[in-house]
Amino acid sequence: MNTLLENGRRLAARVDSSTPAHRDRAIDGLRALALLAVPLGHWMLGGFRLDAEGLHNASPLSTFAGLAPASWVLQMLGIFFLVGGYASVLSFRRRTSTTAAWLGGRLARLGRPVLGVSAVWAVLLAVLSSLGVPGDTLRTGSTLVIQPLWFVGVYTVVTALTPVCVTLARKLGGWAALPLLVSVAVVDFLRYGPFAEAMPSWLSVLNVLPGWLFAYQLGVSWGEGRIGRRGARLLLIGGGALFAVLLLAFHYPASMVGVPGEARTNSHPPSLLVVALAAAQSGAAILLRDRLGRLLREPLLWAPVVVVNLSAMTILCWHQTAMLAAAVPASLAGAGTAVAGLTTAPDTVGWVLARIAWLPVFAALLVLIARYARRFEAPWQAGTRAANARRALAGVLAAGFAVFALGLA
């Protein structure tokens, strides 16, 4: 044990010494927290129900409404977009070529892992089907895998808007995000207010871009030096107050994630409650930035942050696969031999305790998968006929997976 600890310390010291002095450790730390909250949230707030037709999605929040506040902590996409906006500003300043080339490089880094996981799952679906895995299980699995990918799609769009966000930040500072909040508020009023019955069902889609661009714009303004501690306190207090009013006076759903059977959801697309939470989280993050930066000067704390940041897209794209790697084989034994916390319905305290016990297994499976999946983050080979054929095949497979996962076939 002492030898293992000593090796860990030496490795952490090497990582620490190789980190450039100008590296903003607090930003990387915030990104790591937001990244880890994604799998933890999906693993703890999502479960399965197993019957003769296969696995189906279920949620402990359907039974334990009191767990909803956990989703306030685990829903850290606002922090992710905030940090993304901040980092994009720094990268945008350092660009050595045209804006189009800068955007192309960033979008390619986002797109490669998504294409990879989609293509692999297209093949997996065919293999699992041939092995007799029920169709309902395949549908459930593909739905879970594609859910995090919507986030990458939205993040791609807001990244493409970085030059516009920078211009607005330089003109308006932190207030550049206010029209986005107002836009979400107007759409929420229309779809939930007195005119709700007359509104078209697609109206909520109008919240997707402004709802997530809000925190990204805050991050851009922060990166431009236009949000200080005073603005951060305003975000924290104002966002917290708006959050409380929406919950207590306007009866928004308490959960930040969708709950099966509920008529309203805060996250798909984002509601004003999500924006309020993002504002409060952003204010807290800005206020804690210096303290977090000092804390991460400790090599043993900094090294895991580096590892998580280097594996960002792999974590986002493959964490649901890690959970399914345990659940799908367990489901093949049938409903009569359901595994506690894995294929049993998430409606008892025992399920919660058993699911907590499964978390290290899911994490270990994700680490194992990441050893092979990281290759999808590497730049594509180009210029040869074989490389172009592989990319074309991956595109076709990914498109097929998307059609199946979205229920279009």
Place of tokens 């107002």: 182
Packing angle between helix 312-331 and helix 135-160, nearest 10 degrees? 170
Q: Which residues, other chains included, contact 22 with Cβ-Cβ below 8 Å and sequence gap of 6+?
A: none
For the chain, what is the mean pLDDT?
Answer: 91
Q: Which residues contact 258 (CB under 8 A, 6 or more apart)?
A: 59, 265, 267, 268
Q: Tens digits of per-residue pLDDT, 186-206?
A: 999 999 999 889 999 899 999
Mean pLDDT on 32-60:
92
**332 Cβ contact list (under 8 Å, min separation 6):** 132, 133
Cα diameter, the chain: 68
pLDDT at residue 409, as a whole number: 65
- Mean local confidence (pLDDT), 336-343: 88
Are residues 219 and 174 in contact, defined by beta-carbon separation less than 8 angstroms? no
Domain ranges of the chain: 25-40+55-405
> In the predicted model, what is the mean pLDDT of residues 27-53?
93
Model confidence at 319, pLDDT cuts 50, 70, 90, reads very high
Taking the C-alpha atoms of 278, 279, 282 and 288 in order, what is their torsion angle to the nearest 10 degrees?
-120
- Is the model's pLDDT at 110 over the cut of 80? yes
Q: What phi and psi values does residue 52 have, to the nearest 5 degrees?
A: -65, -25
The amino acid present at 310, given as its one-letter code, is: L
Considering only CA atoms, which of 303, 326, 316, 318 is closest in space to residue 370? 318
pLDDT digits (tens, 9 = 90+) for 142-176: 999 998 888 888 999 999 999 999 999 999 999 99
- In DSSP notation, 64-118 reads -GGGHHHHHHH--HHHHHHHHHHHHHHHHHH--S-HHHHHHHHHHHHHHHHHHHH
- pTM of the complete model beyond 0.85: yes
In DSSP terms, 270 is beta-bridged to 267
Q: What percent of the chain has pLDDT over 70?
A: 98
3-state secondary structure of 344: coil
In the chain, what percentage of residues exceed pLDDT 90?
69
| Residue 382 scores a pLDDT above 80 | no
Phi–psi pair at 255, nearest 5 degrees: -80, 140
Distance CA 254, CA 332 (A): 35
Residue 55 φ then ψ, to 5°: -85, 140
pLDDT at 1 over 70: no
Q: What is the pLDDT of residues 11-23, one digit of tens each?
A: 888 988 888 888 8
**Measured distance CA(170)–CA(235) in Å, rounded:** 19
Taking only the tens place, the pLDDT of each residue in 64-99 is: 888 889 999 988 989 999 999 999 999 998 888 898
Measuring CA to CA, which residue among 174, 176, 181 is closest to residue 164?
A: 176
Report pLDDT for 149: 87
How do residues 197-253 score in pLDDT, each as one tens digit?
A: 999 989 999 999 999 999 999 999 999 999 999 999 999 999 999 999 999 999 999
Give the separation between CA 344 and CA 55, rounded to whole angstroms.
10
pLDDT value of position 384: 75
For residues 184 and 231, give the distance between their C-alpha atoms in angstroms, rounded to a whole number.
Answer: 21
**Separation of alpha carbons 204 and 206, rounded Å:** 5
Separation of alpha carbons 27 and 132, rounded Å: 46
366-375 residue pLDDT tens: 999 999 988 8
